[in-house]
Amino acid sequence: MLMINEKTQMMASVGFLYFLAAIGLSAHMLMEKPAINTSVIDGAMQSIYEKGFTEANPLNDASISVMGTIKYAAFGQAEQGAVVGKDGWLFTSEEFEVSPDFYENMSQSATEIARVQAFLKRKGITLIPVIVPDKADVYAKHLRVSRPAETQTRRKDFFSLLAARNVMALDAYDALRPNDLRANGFIKDDTHWSPTGSRAVAEIVAAHLKNLDVELAPATVTTVQGPKVDFDGDLLQFVPTGALRKVFGPEQNQIATYTTTVEAAGGLFGDANVDVALVGTSFSAKPEWNFTGFLQDALAADVLNFASEGQGPFAPMVAFLASDTFQDTPPKIVVWEIPSRYTSKEMIQ
């Protein structure tokens, strides 16, 4: 090191300082400044300033992109929250997690479903729980690591718990498995089912309902397929390759878009009652999968959607049962979409 002449060392030192200072100055200029009346005595002002300064660093995005790419391309690894499978498949870590209360939570979940079923039955309403399997369950062949035994048998174990409580639920597993007629039921880089999978599940729900011999208010339903569009799955946030994605992946996926329109048989001024309510999670709530539309199409009837994102399946049911719609115009059928991985978690997320 000392072999380099003093001038070079001086330039390196000054360059080092200037570089750091320039980045710091940029961050300071770009950041949102803390309020003047925030206390410096207990460090509150400093903490707010530091957070803003850190977040405004102009090198943040490039750094995240480079480190994310190194992890993904060199080590086949995602950030905490996702698991990288074979051939670019990504899985949510939630499908691998085993909490200490795993079986106790499953038991409570089954009991809650039985309670809701009994409650609705007393009001003459039929509950149809639809258990959505883990993506890692359906696509186990794309996994690089084995899942814990508890998660591998979770879906079947949960059906046993439901059966013990006299609850009949639909298993969406077969509908989501790829076969000769159907492409992937799940999206490679997303936690959720694909529109194809969503439609397949809607069809088994409709087939089941027909067997129940429940008369639904008829409607004219039309589903139109739109163009395929680029789609970035929710699991990509754990693989932040950014601008380097085009070179190192994950590859860009596309999904088909669908639009469903419903015209009630009574026309504009007909009976406003809707006989089917859908309760569930983001599988039902996100418009990209068009689950409500496919369900309407398969049933040839209108469906009211009470699903919501980010709350698991149980909180939306609590909200639905407390809603004015349920109190004033109760449906005949309630379809309850329940992802398998939520059955072993705490019920209220």
Partner 1 sequence: MIFSSSIFIFGFLPLFLTVYYAAPKSARSVVILIGSYAFYGWWRLDYLAVVFGMSVISYLAAYVAYTATTTTIKTWAVRLGVAFDLAVLGYFKYTMFAMSGLSDLSVALGGADITVPAIILPIGISFHTFQSISYIIDVSRKDAPPARNLIDFLAFGSLFPQLIAGPVLRYKDLADQFANRTHTPAKFVQGISRFAQGLAMKLLIADNVAPLADRIFALSNPTGTESWLGASAYSIQLLFDFAGYSSMAIGLGLMIGFQFVENFNAPYISQSITEFWRRWHISLSMWLRDYLYLPLGGNRRGAARTYINLAMTMLLGGLWHGANWTFILWGAWHGIWLAFERALGAKSKTQVWPALIAWPLTMTLVMIGWVMFRAASVTEAFNMYAGMIGLNGWSLSASMAWQIQPTEIVALLLGSVISVFGQRLAGMTTDTPAALQLTSTFALMVMACMALLAQTHSPFLYFQF
List contacts with partner 1 (CB under 8 A). Answer: 1-4, 6, 8-10, 12-13, 16-18, 20-21, 23-24, 27-28, 40-43, 46, 49-50, 53-54, 57, 59-60, 62-64, 66-68, 71, 75-77, 80, 83, 96, 98, 145-150
Query: Between residues 40 and 224, which has the closer beta carbon with respect to partner 1?
Result: 40
Minimum CB separation of residue 248 from partner 1 in Å reads 15
User: Closest CB to partner 1 among 46 and 237?
Assistant: 46
Which lies closer to partner 1 via its Cβ, residue 58 or residue 287? 58
238, 78 Cβ separation under 8 angstroms: yes
Residue number with CB closer to partner 1 (43 or 270): 43
Least gap, CB of 8 to partner 1 (angstroms) = 8
Query: Taking the complex as a whole, how short is the minimal distance between the CB of residue 4 and partner 1, in angstroms?
Result: 5
Contact between residue 98 and residue 148 where contact means Cβ atoms under 8 Å apart: yes
Strand partners, 219: 264
- Eight-state DSSP code of residue 70: I
Contacts of 244 by beta carbon, 8 Å cutoff, 6+ apart: 65, 66, 69
| Contacts within 8 Å (CB) and 24+ apart, 285-290 | 285/309, 286/192, 288/195, 288/231, 288/255, 288/257, 289/192, 289/193, 289/194, 289/195, 289/197, 289/198, 290/195, 290/198, 290/199, 290/223, 290/258, 290/259, 290/260
Least distance from partner 1 to the Cβ atom of residue 221, Å: 43
Return the number of the residue (204 or 244) whose C-beta is nearest partner 1.
244
Q: Please check whether residue 276 is in contact with residue 301, taking contact to mean a CB–CB distance below 8 angstroms.
A: yes
CA-only gyration radius of the chain, Å? 26
CB 247, min distance to partner 1, A: 17
Shortest distance, position 1 Cβ to partner 1, whole Å? 5
Q: CA 195 to CA 40: how far, in whole Å?
A: 53
Alpha carbon distance 163, 48 (integer Å): 54
Q: Give the shortest CB-93-to-partner 1 separation in angstroms.
A: 8
CA distances from 22 to 51, 52, 98, 263, 273 (A): 18, 17, 47, 62, 64
CB closer to partner 1, 63 vs 254: 63
Q: Of 157 and 171, which has the nearer Cβ to partner 1?
A: 157
